Every structure is written in structure tokens, then in C-alpha cells.
Amino acid sequence: MTVRKKIAFLGTGLMGAPMVRCLLNAGFPVTVWNRDGAKAAPLVADGARQVHSPSEAAAGADVVFTMLTNGAAVSEILFDKGVADVMSKDAIFVDCSSIAPPIAKENAGRLADRGIRSLDAPVSGGTAGAAAGTLAIMAGGDAADVAALSDVFAALGRVTHVGPSGAGQICKLANQQIVAVTIGAVAEAMILAEAGGASRAAFRDAIRGGFAESRILELHGQRMVERNFVPGGASANQLKDLDAVMAMAESLSLTLPLTRQVRQEFADFVAEGGAEKDHSGLLLHLEELNRKDQA
């Protein structure tokens, strides 16, 4: 009989909760913790064990996942809330949060000093991919540790080892560049098509399968047609990632004009009250810009 790895999952929000369900469905025992316990409580009915502190969840776990808001939250959980203190030397820490690469490297170094292995393994695919177990997982760290968790990652999606510690977060930022710029392009195209007399829905259907096809056009294009901006990925989080991209670009002396422009559009949208709207809601900001221009 195969002995399943014991998993602790810290952070059960929009992405974390469906990921936990995929792990439970694959037969892994999962202990969950969330700062707002009400967000973790429904997972108990699916078979998870809920505890009231992150260190209690991590104690005795073979794998400790985090899916948290930012780098500060991950560092706090690890080093201020006792998770690193209780982790077994045989356990592996896996951070699926989207955080700045320097913070991921710093966390990995501090854990290594304690003899704890770690991976930065941010994901792409949104809540739909998390629920379906089809996430793209970008893992930075030791290739042997990625291989050791192949059965765990298989329950969540497709994992690729992309390099040393921090490389997973670099790839996630590059992914977020593509997502943000493509959302902006699709939104602008929707506005152009409608202004010229075409139906947005028909326009989207017409170009499906051509060179403009993408998951953004498929999923977020549909959101734009339906004007459904309930967050799968909040615009505030998209802005956070774009801020990290621009910080990395500056540190590497890179000029990224498209990313700079779309970052400004998201900053304006968030400032206008769009922080908790889905990032496809950038359409609303661009529509407002055009209304002002035409006034």
C-alpha cells in the first residue's frame, strides 16, 4: 500500500482552496490553515483537517505549501509564526505564492541554513486551472526536490523545473507580463470592434482558432463579453506582480515599454476602485478613458 505524503496547506483563498481539494481528491491527507478561518472551514467537509495556527499545521508534515498574498506574508509565516521552527529536516517547503524573486531567494537561504529544503513554485491557470488540477507550475530550487514531489505536483497540474531558487518567481513574473499585456490588447480590441459596429461576442468568436487565440481570449474575453468581473485574479494582485516586474527590470537595466504602460493602466484602474475586480476588468478603465476622450 502506498503511503501518501502528509501535506500542510497554508492559505486557502481563491487559489488555495481548490488546490487543497485536488490534493484531497488524489488521496493526500491535508491539514489546512488560513488567517481567516472561515475560508478554510468548508474544506473540512471535503476531508481536510483544520487547525488554528500555521505552526500546528506544519508540524509533522512531509510537504508544507503556502499560497499567500505577498512575500511579507510568506516570510512572517515561516520565521515569525514558527513554521520553520517545527518543520522536519525531511520535509520540503513549497511556496506557490507570487512574490518578488529576491524574497524567494532570501527565504530559501534562511531555510537552507536550518537544513530545510524549499521550492518556489508559483502557478498559472487561475481559479479554473486550480479547480481542474491543470495548473502550470514553475518550480525553482533543486531538481531532485521537484522530482521527489512529482506525485504531489501531478495532482495540481504540470510542473516544470525552471532553475535555481528564485527562478520560479522570475518565470511567474514573465507569465504575468504576458497575461497583463494580453488582457490590455484584448480589451482594446473589444473597444475598437464595437466602436466600428461589430458585436464584441461575434468578434471574439470570429478570431477564435486564428493567430490571436489564447487562454486570455477564451476566458477573459468571455468575461469582457459578459461583463463578469467577479475576481478569479484580482486587479490589485495583478498590479502587485507588475510592480515586481518593473523592480526586477530596473535591477537588470532592462527597458520594458509595453509592461510599463499596462502597469500604469492597472495602477489607474486600482486607484479608481477596481482593486477587487478581476484583472479582465481593465476593460472598464479603458472604456472610461475612451468616454473621456469623446466627451
pLDDT in the model for residue 46? 97
Tens digits of residue pLDDT in 162-210: 999 999 999 999 999 999 999 999 999 999 999 999 999 999 999 999 9
* Predicted confidence band of residue 295 (pLDDT cuts 50, 70, 90): low
Confidence tier at 126 by pLDDT (50, 70, 90): confident
Q: What is the pLDDT of residue 233?
A: 86
What is the predicted pLDDT for the residue at 294? 73
Coil, helix or strand for 30?
strand
List phi, psi (to 5°) of 123.
-125, 160
* pLDDT value at residue 177: 96
pLDDT value, residue 2: 67
Q: What is the pLDDT of residues 27-77, one digit of tens each?
A: 999 999 999 999 999 999 999 999 999 999 999 999 999 999 899 999 999
Q: What is the C-alpha separation between 248 and 113, in angstroms, rounded?
A: 26
**For residues 241 and 254, which has the higher predicted lDDT (pLDDT)?**
254
Pairwise pLDDT comparison (22 vs 292), residue with the higher score: 22
Is the full-model pTM beyond 0.85?
yes
Q: Name the packing angle between helices 282-294 and 257-269 (round to 10°).
A: 90
Determine the average pLDDT of the residues in 218-225.
Answer: 96
In this structure, are residues 96 and 149 in contact, taking their beta carbons and an 8 Å threshold? no
Identify the residue whose cell numbers are 511567474: 172
Confidence of residue 242 (pLDDT cuts 50, 70, 90): very high
Beta partners for residue 140, in sequence order: 120, 163
Q: What does the buried/exposed string (b/e) look like for 90-125 if buried means 16 or more CB atoms within 10 Å of the residue's CB?
A: ebbbbbbbbbbbebbbebbeebeeeebbbbbbbbbb
Pick the CATH number of 7-163 from 3.40.50.300, 3.30.2320.50, 3.20.19.10, 3.40.50.720: 3.40.50.720
Residue 1 clears pLDDT 60, i.e. is over it? no
Mean pLDDT to the nearest integer, 11-19? 96
Domain ranges of the chain: 7-163, 171-294
Residue 239 confidence (pLDDT) above 70: yes
At position 218, the amino acid (one-letter code) is: E
Which grid coordinates are listed for 77? Answer: 509565516
Give catalytic residue positions.
Answer: 172
Contact 67, 10 (CB under 8 A): yes
d(CA 74, CA 83): 10
- The set of cell numbers assigned to 71 is 512575500
Helix, strand or coil for residue 139?
A: strand
The CATH label, of 1.25.40.10, 2.40.70.10, 1.10.150.20, 1.10.1040.10, for the domain at 171-294 is 1.10.1040.10
Report the mean per-residue pLDDT for the chain.
Answer: 95
What does the alpha-carbon distance between residue 54 and residue 38 come to, in Å, rounded to a whole number? Answer: 15
> Residue 287's pLDDT band (boundaries 50, 70, 90)?
very high
H or E element at residue 49: strand 49-50
Length of the chain, in residues: 295
